[in-house]
Amino acid sequence: ERARTVPRSEPSGPRPGDGRYRIEHEIGRGGMGRVFLAEDQRLGRRVALKTRLGEGERAAARFQQEARATAQLEHPNIVPVYDLDHDEEGQTRFTMRLVEGRPLAEVLQSLARGEGTMARAFGPAELLLVFTKVCDAVAYAHSRGVLHRDLKPDNIMLGRYGEAFVMDWGLARVGDVDVGPGLGPDRIKSDSGEQITIVGSVVGTPGYMSPEQARGAREEVDARSDVFSLGAILYEILTYRRAFAGDHTAALIAATILAEVVPPTQVVPDRPIVAALEPACMRALAREPDDRFDSVRALRDAVAEALEGSREAARRRATAEERLETSRAHQLEHDRLGAQARDRRADAERRLAELPVTAVPEREALFDELGDVEALEARARAAFWEAYGRLISGVREDPSFQPAREALVELLLSRAGELRRNGDSSTAADLEAIARQHDRERAEARLDDPAHLTVESTPPGATVSVVRFVERGPLWEERAASGPELTPGAYAADLRLPDRPAVRATFRLAPGERRNLKVHLPEMGAVEEGFVYVPGGAYLVGGDRLAPEAGPRAEITLRGFAIATHLVTMKEYAAFLNALDDEEAARRAPRIGNTSYWTPANGRYEVPFTDPDGDEIGADWPVCMLSASDADAYARWRSAQTGRLVRLPTSDEWEVAAGGGDGRVFPWGDGFDPSLCRMLTSAPRAGPCPVGSYPRDRSPFGVLDAAGLVREHTSTEIDGQRVVRGGAWPAAPVQCRIGRRSLLGPDETYVTFGFRLAHDV
């Protein structure tokens, strides 16, 4: 029974009352009695007046014993008994302090429903303070030899001003004497309040009573039985759920005796205070009394100690939350400045690439613009590291605060992705490694979130095999892959159809991307012998900050084209010169300025030959010392000879054919070694060599010698100048990067400039 204000209900029969007490209305009813709101007219105060239900001497004795047991317990958290007497009809009654408030059960039910008003009034700290007060009351009762035996949220009243009271001592035991029912057929209360007759000595409320109470083992019931009930209450405070579930009383009793309690952290894994208090809660709920706390005081001390630790945890959590919140402002600043810098750099680099080298004032103005861009980029980097510092501080302050850890991983991986798009794979890998250190599972899930690939061929029906490019030192090696789910990274798909040439399509898959790759397979004969086909599609170009004049990273779309595997050789160019008249041939022969490096012998250009510097020039060496106009003239002659229109590749076509358009730095991967291409330190003496001598200088499409040997003219023109691509035999490593570009007048020559051909498909 609870002495509290409830909606008025009329009791059956006459209301009790006499000259001292003026009865107003019934406010509660239980198995042993009724409680009325009354006014003590002698003392002028409102009280809760309890009368018994049931007839007979046994019921009267139990009722008086309850009053006397409660009266012995003078404690701030136990409702005091004011008086025990008889009414005019001789019926026993006693009065208590009137408590106006609500039961803990009502509060927990509201919290379970997510009611915000209740959550603001009763947070975890407030509820645990209530729990410690309840423990104080029960510990005091135990010190007086009184066991409650029916502790539950319904029997804990919360006053309006922070008071907490343990109510309803009707089932208490004083020493070895039962106050309430205990022998013979007992009436116990179910969770719904229904009175259910249980045969035996079961005393308490199913779901909160201890296993020994549930078994009816009265001789085993002691202070640790109340500890168990308090553990069930603590469990409900922590989780807003009951420790034991059952559709009916028998099921609840069986669960109490047999079921394993689900740890609170598995019910609510996101509350630090739950983790702190779980050990105490689970120990209190141990099935065997010997495994529980020896006393309620020990339970209370364990909760208080954990609560103190949780206060420190709460302070750390608040600090971590503040770090997370302030980091977001720095992240936004980084994103804003980074976007501005990207747009301005792309514009400045585009305009710079279009200016001739001789436009010095205009180029210097753009240098100033790029200086401003670099200042913006520096501010963006500072904002990134400020956000990183805030988040790492939050993680260190509270390692269990997942939002800060997740934000840190996302920040690092986002920056790593940005760096990879800009060609800085090394720094990106460092940031990814840091992300893995903080949350390996999340980082790898983010980095390795499977991409989904489907491939459609035109004509349909092609067989498809997929390879993934995997780093091995400086090289990207091919390894077989199978789908449709693929790890993010760079790939190639090889398609084959009968009566069609095999086609390779390259692509890069981002984490979680869904890619439908459409590939056209040309007819037999559509691709010139000695050429490789590059299918139409989307490709990455630019973005290599270390490559001179590389331009910004961009995704472009190309139509399918074919490009020569090899550079045009001296032997092939000799056939062209020999087809020209002497004057035209002399004008188109390799030269530097007015000095010709190839003169005819007996009216014909023959190879091998010795040039003016005394070098032996081989037939399979790449032709060089030519202008873009010379290359165009050769392409026109070759087209007339074969009947197929050939041309120089565009700058974008060359870059995609040379690197696969998948973001790599060199044709073979991202690392460099002088043994991989013909460049300055590849041989004891710098100079050209036969084409194809460096098989590792090979693109995914099969294009050879793009990183070294000679630089290559393209058909792309900017302000009257031609774009030149590739590395060369006297080049340093940075000049061998496929992103490198430069401009040269169409009629200008240079010692290392040659070309290769392309044609439309």
Question: DSSP letter string over 599-631?
Answer: --BTTB--SSEE-TTSPEEPTTSBP-S--HHHH
**Do 83 and 201 reside in the same domain of the chain?**
no
The domain boundary residue, chosen from 243, 260, 294: 294
Same domain, 435 and 461: no
What would the pLDDT profile of 600-659 be if each residue is shown by its tens digit?
988 899 999 887 777 888 999 999 999 999 999 999 999 999 999 999 999 999 999 999
pLDDT at 210 over 90: yes
For residues 225 and 116, membership in a common domain is answered with yes
Summarised one tens digit per residue, pLDDT across range 147-157 is 999 999 999 99
Tens digits of residue pLDDT in 92-134: 899 999 988 899 999 999 999 988 888 888 888 889 999 999 9
Number of domains present in the structure of the chain: 5
40-54, 57-71, 480-494, 631-645: the lowest-pLDDT one? 57-71
In the prediction, which pLDDT does 201 show?
A: 58
pLDDT at 353: 72
Residues 481-487 have a mean pLDDT of 83
Same domain, 132 and 237: yes
pLDDT at position 626, please?
Answer: 97
CA distances from 139 to 24, 53, 73, 228, 602 (A): 35, 30, 11, 13, 120
Region of residue 336 (left: phi > 0; alpha: psi -120 to 50; beta: else):
alpha
Question: What percent of the chain is predicted at pLDDT more than 70?
Answer: 94
Most confident of 195-199, 526-530, 548-552: 526-530
Q: Binning pLDDT at 50, 70 and 90, where does residue 243 land?
A: very high
Same domain (yes/no): 264, 348: no
Same-domain status, 595 and 732:
yes
* pLDDT digit string, tens, across residues 534-564: 999 999 998 887 888 888 788 899 999 999 9
For residue 135, what are the domain limits?
Answer: 104-294
Query: What per-residue confidence (pLDDT) applies to 31?
Result: 62
User: 746-756: b or e for each residue (b if 16 or more CB lie within 10 Å)?
Assistant: eeebbbbbbbb
Residue with tokens 């469990």: 235
Are the C-beta atoms of residues 475 and 672 closer than 8 Å to each other? no
In the predicted structure, residue 424 carries a pLDDT above the cut 80: no
Kindly state whether residues 365 and 246 are assigned to the same domain. Answer: no
- 551 assigned to some structural domain: no
609 shares its domain with 734? yes
Answer whether 288's CB lies under 8 Å from 296's CB: no
Q: Is residue 304 part of a domain?
A: no
pLDDT reported for residue 374: 93
Mean pLDDT along residues 716-720 = 91
Domain end marker among 504, 526, 548: 526
In a domain, 15, yes or no: no
Do 269 and 353 reside in the same domain of the chain?
no
CATH number assigned to the domain comprising residue 710: 3.90.1580.10
The average pLDDT across 394-412 equals 92
Place of tokens 């046994």: 58
| Residue 148: inside a domain | yes
Contact 467, 529 (CB under 8 A): no
Phi, psi of 545 (to 5 degrees): -65, -25
Confidence band, pLDDT 50/70/90 cuts, at residue 197: very low
Closest of 264, 216, 222 to residue 240, by C-alpha: 264
pLDDT at 17 over 80: no
Is 461 part of any domain?
Answer: yes
pLDDT at residue 8 greater than cutoff 70: no
CA 475 – CA 470 distance, rounded (Å): 8
Residue 730 lies in a domain: yes
What CA–CA distance (Å, rounded) separates 1 from 3? 7
| Predicted confidence band of residue 336 (pLDDT cuts 50, 70, 90) | very high
Which candidate, 91, 101, 103, places its Cα nearest to that of 23? 91
Report pLDDT for 18.
63
Residue 276 banded pLDDT, cuts 50, 70, 90: confident
pLDDT band at 184 (very low <50, low <70, confident <90, very high): very low
Q: What is the mean pLDDT of residues 338-360?
A: 82
Query: What average pLDDT does this structure show over 323-327?
Result: 95
Which tokens sit at 264?
């609170």
CB 629 within 8 A of CB 740: no
Identify whether 6 is part of a domain.
Answer: no
CATH number of the domain bearing residue 37: 3.30.200.20
The yes-or-no verdict on residue 719 having pLDDT over 50 is: yes
Whether the pLDDT of residue 458 is over 50: the answer is yes
Q: Which ranges of 398-424 does DSSP label H, i.e. alpha helix? A: 402-421
- Average pLDDT taken over every residue of the chain: 88
| 153 shares its domain with 215 | yes
Q: Which two tokens stand for residue 526?
A: 């559509």
| Domain shared by 442 and 452, yes or no | no
Instruction: Mean pLDDT check: name the lowest of 4-13, 231-240, 514-523.
Output: 4-13
Q: Which of 447, 477, 512 is the last residue of a domain?
A: 447
Please give the share of the chain, as a percent, with pLDDT higher than 90.
63
Domain shared by 510 and 592, yes or no: no
**Which pairs from 537-541 meet CB under 8 Å and 24+ separation?**
537/505, 537/507, 538/507, 539/506, 539/652, 539/656, 539/660, 539/661, 539/662, 540/508, 540/661, 540/662, 540/663, 541/652, 541/655, 541/656, 541/661, 541/739
DSSP assignment, residue 704? B
> Given this model, what pLDDT does residue 178 score?
59
The 3-state secondary structure of 155-208, one letter per residue: HEEEECCCCEEECCCCCCEECCEECCCCCCCEEEECCCCCEEEECCCCCCCCCC
- Lowest average pLDDT, out of 184-198, 320-334, 439-453, goes to 184-198
Please indicate whether residue 711 or residue 68 has the higher confidence score (pLDDT).
Answer: 711
Residue 704's φ and ψ, nearest 5 degrees, are -105, 150
9: pLDDT strictly greater than 50: no
- Residue 309 included in any domain: no
